[in-house]
Amino acid sequence: MENLENKNEPKLLYRLDKRNPLYVAFDLFIYLLICWIPIIFAIPNFVLGISIFSIILNIVCVYISLIILQILYSIIFFDYFEIYEDKMIYMDILGFKITLQAKQIDRFFSYGYCGVTEVVAVFKKRIFKILPTIILHSLTPKQESEIRNNLVYLSIKNFNTKDKKWKF
């Protein structure tokens, strides 16, 4: 006999709670090398003087630094990631939890780099979409494929249940 309390609970489609330690070490090594690049570009601009070009370059360097810090945070403090039928939950070791309903997801993308690890980034619907809401690094190709397939399922389900204001 089924538990009546769990009938209203959404079904868990996928849970990621473990990553390959070699992939995590590889990602940390690569991004710790990359994190010095914006600093190297920003230092000469402060020394040589301020111009429009140097201000724009410094803004770009700050943006790249923010992305790299977010990536390093997501690599180091990852705890688990769950996809349900109507939402996704990301939790880190420090207790920070992100819950996105299916209708809040704007877009997501996945890619592999260096031929080794895979990355999935999820963006929330908001005015400024310059930083992803959730970044999952150090994934195997199988984990990336399963996450991508479940996110596509979530997007299609959300697309089919949108309010039907538009009638043709």
Domains of the chain from N-terminus onward:
10-159 (2.30.29.30)
The answer to whether the CB of 27 falls within 8 A of the CB of 138 is yes
pLDDT at 165: 52
- pTM, entire model: 0.75
What are the two backbone dihedrals, phi and then psi, of residue 64, each rounded to the nearest 5 degrees?
Answer: -65, -40
Tens-digit pLDDT string for the chain (168 aa): 444 455 677 889 999 999 999 999 999 998 888 888 777 776 766 666 667 777 787 788 888 888 888 889 999 999 999 999 889 999 999 989 999 988 888 888 888 877 788 999 898 888 777 778 888 999 999 999 999 998 888 877 666 555 555 444
Dihedral sign of CA atoms 19, 21, 27, 31 in order? positive
